[in-house]
A = this chain, B = another copy of it.
């Protein structure tokens, strides 16, 4: 999609063309799709780079829920091509003193507020540099206090998609915010974990991954206690559960998941994010 190999870009901005740049920008926000916010961000991006390919990851992150946004981003990001630019805006601190940042890894870029939104995705990545976005040449000319998704993150992502060097956008920083993302606790033949996400179907995704289960329970024989329920069945897929039956399985990302065939397990069990799950 990069046809403009030799064109000079105006505004006195330096451009370091990367030939392997695909121009793919993903968006993840809590803006919903009812208002003008997401469309406005896309307008800003296309005004700077009309050849950008913009992909929505989700705009239905629950309002201000940084943890849910971080989880959803971490699930989708690994499947995008090299050099994809991920813009994430779940940003309750907009207009305050949280930094706007850009993180470059050996595979891709993350652009958004420094509030932990990238911290789960970055567990899979090798960080090359972290930049505090300060160069106003790459922002919209008038910066609001409430919509940095439009005024800072979209233009930075768009310039980045045109091949501008990350160092052009600001200065390197050493540390960024991490979420307190709980890891499961394993002792003897018992694992204590948490529900970390409930998806659209009501499937309850835990922080316990397949490798840990294999290590602790070599025989795959264990019971799962969640709320007042005990689940004894680990099935390969939903298709192996009987109608309405509550089962456990390894989800498509390798985590233990509690599901109810053709029903919403979250509602059936009265369980929500943060609730404890015990395997023994």
Contact = CB atoms under 8 A, between A and B. Distances in A.
Contacts of A34: 58, 60-61, 72, 199-200
Nearest to A77: B43
Given A58-B39, A237-B146, A46 B72 contact: no
A261 B63 CA distance: 11
With a 10 A CB-CB cut-off, give which of A22, A38, A146 has the most chain B CB atoms. Answer: A146
Nearest to A197: B35
Interface in A16-32: 22, 24, 26, 28, 31-32
A76 B28 CA distance: 18
Interface stretch (A47-55, A161-169, A188-196, A220-228): A47-55
A136 to B, nearest CB: 17
A172 interface: no
Chain A contact residues (Cβ within 8 angstroms of B): what range?
Answer: 35 or more
Contacts of A201: 63
Interface string A52-93: 011111111101100000001101111111001000000011
Contact of A145 (B1, B31, B98, B237): B237
Given A76-B40, A81-B43, A249-B145, A95 B33 contact: no
A240 interface: yes
Contacts of A61: 34
A146 B39 contact: no
Given A53-B46, A144-B251, A251-B146, A39 B26 contact: yes
16 contacts: A24-B50, A26-B39, A26-B43, A31-B200, A33-B60, A34-B60, A34-B72, A35-B199, A39-B76, A40-B79, A43-B55, A43-B77, A43-B78, A44-B79, A46-B55, A46-B81
Interface of A: 1, 22, 24, 26, 28, 31-40, 42-44, 46-47, 50-51, 53-61, 63-64, 72-73, 75-81, 84, 92-98, 144-147, 150-151, 199-201, 236-240, 249-252, 257, 261-262
